[in-house]
A and B are shown apart, each in its own frame.
Chain A
């Protein structure tokens, strides 16, 4: 077990190092971004965790197979960083999670079902940005505990944490401190106040290691993470719908939308399933490269 985490950590450490150099291409303190000279290339961006990088790679390769010039800027950071990059034109296309994007754009959003979220997201997207057809594949945020913790406190849902939260330490990415789908929502919706919060990584090896080794007792993991089954973890049911439906959806700059692009990415979304994500995440954790995993998936679905 420790060894498999270790293997993931090796890859992760490398990614973390490169992350510091791939920040959004904006002047951090607010000056106007430099205009891009190349208007035809579609630059695909991604968040700083493997699944997002894989999806971005798949998008880029599918588009390239149709003769569209593409470039990738993977591992940009959290949504708080890459969304501004999309808006200022540093990147053109992102694999996004519908529900999380919606609540990033509209703090008061209440939609939960995939259909409602898609509809609300379409309305909430800023001018100049549009979304294509969402995939049925989902990867939702979840609060995970070990099976031992679940049995000890008889936990099935997030609401069951209420009597014991004050004894437990919660782990998650640093942005959880200020996000509604994080500490704020857990407090407002479920009335949970944890003993403390530990800033770890985005459902990566640090979070997993801390949860398995009891440095934190509850942690933010993603439902498509193969480590959940491997380490006998339990995702607590979100009975009050704090985490909205997270269908994967391409979000793209309007200027770059064309029939070919729409058709290609819709075909990718149509072929992608949640189980695909779990299997591919497992392969990434075992050090298969984004390119190899993306190529094989595209070949299997004849999208290359």
Chain B
């Protein structure tokens, strides 16, 4: 496998590791963006108002049980007649990843907001803050650690599952795994798996650093 990694032709070109990592990050980034767009507001709303807890708990669990590989093939067939271009493969892949990432983000946000010390919320209300100000000035910052933990598990899942985009002809590191299997090239497969793992760890580390920088020191007892 070291030989596979040290062959320069495996790194460059349209099928090279660099191009595949970039594609992988693009699919993951786009999916994470949409997942946040959906998951964060719902989580904040439910956490703040306490309404619909049962609904999102059920929804989150139901979404988690969707089989990604089956869903992606189904969506490609359904979207095939809609788009003539590569979008017929890209849109289904992103949808599958978004569905995978929404539950942890949503649950993390909800749990974070719901777990904010009621005394802090009461104090803010006593100072005359409006409900939205309470949400964004008090509840959101206090909930950040749990929101980040949801975000991290969502990101890990997206990065590891984005490999299935290659199953429907797209790029990304899954290319190495799917092609390696079809061509009985286990070194290529193993290299793909190692790269996905390494990428997931790196991105997780980056979010960890981001969370350290943004979470109020008062919450982390690091003062």
Task: Give residues of chain B (156-182) contacting chain A, Cβ–Cβ below 8 Å.
Answer: 166-169, 175, 178-179, 181-182
Which partner residue on chain B sits nearest A20 by CB separation?
A: B69
- Answer whether residue B74 sits at the interface, using C-beta atoms and an 8 A cutoff: yes
- Answer whether residue A212 sits at the interface, using C-beta atoms and an 8 A cutoff: yes
- The smallest C-beta distance from A14 to any residue of chain B, in angstroms, reads 7
Please, how many angstroms separate the alpha-carbon atoms of A9 and B76 in the complex?
Answer: 10
- The smallest C-beta distance from B13 to any residue of chain A, in angstroms, reads 13
Given A16-B69, A171-B169, the answer on whether A77 and B181 have CB atoms closer than 8 Å is: yes
Which partner residue on chain A sits nearest B180 by CB separation?
A: A174
Which partner residue on chain B sits nearest A197 by CB separation?
A: B169
In the complex, which residues of chain A have a beta carbon less than 8 angstroms from the beta carbon of B85? 215
- Answer whether residue A175 sits at the interface, using C-beta atoms and an 8 A cutoff: yes
Task: Give residues of chain A (1-43) contacting chain B, Cβ–Cβ below 8 Å.
Answer: 2, 5-6, 9-10, 12-14, 16-17, 23, 28-29
Task: Give residues of chain A (210-246) contacting chain B, Cβ–Cβ below 8 Å.
Answer: 210, 212-215
Which residue of B74, B89, B184 contacts A78 across the interface (Cβ within 8 Å)? B184
A contact residues, total (Cβ < 8 Å): 35
Given A17-B70, A81-B184, the answer on whether A9 and B169 have CB atoms closer than 8 Å is: no
B contact residues, total (Cβ < 8 Å): 33
Task: Give residues of chain A (174-201) contacting chain B, Cβ–Cβ below 8 Å.
Answer: 174-175, 177-178, 198-200
Q: A213–B84 contact, CB under 8 A?
A: yes
Which partner residue on chain A sits nearest B72 by CB separation?
A: A13
Which residue of B88, B168, B190 contacts A213 across the interface (Cβ within 8 Å)? B88
Chain B contact residues, majority secondary structure: helix
Q: A13–B183 contact, CB under 8 A?
A: no
In the complex, which residues of chain B have a beta carbon less than 8 angstroms from the beta carbon of A214? 84
- Answer whether residue B135 sits at the interface, using C-beta atoms and an 8 A cutoff: no
- Answer whether residue B186 sits at the interface, using C-beta atoms and an 8 A cutoff: yes
Q: B183–A174 contact, CB under 8 A?
A: yes
Given A174-B179, A215-B86, the answer on whether A2 and B184 have CB atoms closer than 8 Å is: no
Given A6-B77, A6-B78, the answer on whether A200 and B183 have CB atoms closer than 8 Å is: no
Please, how many angstroms separate the alpha-carbon atoms of A205 and B76 in the complex?
Answer: 10
Please, how many angstroms separate the alpha-carbon atoms of A218 and B182 in the complex?
Answer: 20
Chain A contact residues, majority secondary structure: helix
In the complex, which residues of chain B have a beta carbon less than 8 angstroms from the beta carbon of A173? 182
- Answer whether residue A209 sits at the interface, using C-beta atoms and an 8 A cutoff: yes
Among B70, B73, B169, chain A packs the most CB atoms within 10 A around the CB of B169
- Answer whether residue A98 sits at the interface, using C-beta atoms and an 8 A cutoff: no
Which residue of B70, B175, B186, B189 contacts A13 across the interface (Cβ within 8 Å)? B70
Q: A12–B73 contact, CB under 8 A?
A: yes
- Answer whether residue B80 sits at the interface, using C-beta atoms and an 8 A cutoff: yes
- The smallest C-beta distance from A42 to any residue of chain B, in angstroms, reads 24
Which residue of A5, A14, A84, A178 contacts B183 across the interface (Cβ within 8 Å)? A178
In the complex, which residues of chain A have a beta carbon less than 8 angstroms from the beta carbon of B126? none
Which residue of B77, B181, B185 contacts A5 across the interface (Cβ within 8 Å)? B77
- Answer whether residue B67 sits at the interface, using C-beta atoms and an 8 A cutoff: yes
In the complex, which residues of chain B have a beta carbon less than 8 angstroms from the beta carbon of A16? 69-70, 73, 167
* A92-105 to B contact mask, C-beta < 8 Å, 1/0: 00000000000000
Q: A28–B74 contact, CB under 8 A?
A: no
Which partner residue on chain B sits nearest A196 by CB separation?
A: B14
Name the 9 nearest CB pairs between A and B, nearest first: A80-B184, A174-B182, A13-B70, A198-B169, A213-B80, A175-B182, A209-B80, A28-B186, A174-B179
Q: Which residues of A contact B (CB under 8 A)?
A: 2, 5-6, 9-10, 12-14, 16-17, 23, 28-29, 77-78, 80-81, 84, 171, 173-175, 177-178, 198-200, 205-206, 209-210, 212-215
Interface CB pairs A-B, < 8 A, 9: A6-B78, A17-B69, A29-B1, A78-B181, A80-B183, A174-B181, A174-B183, A199-B182, A215-B85
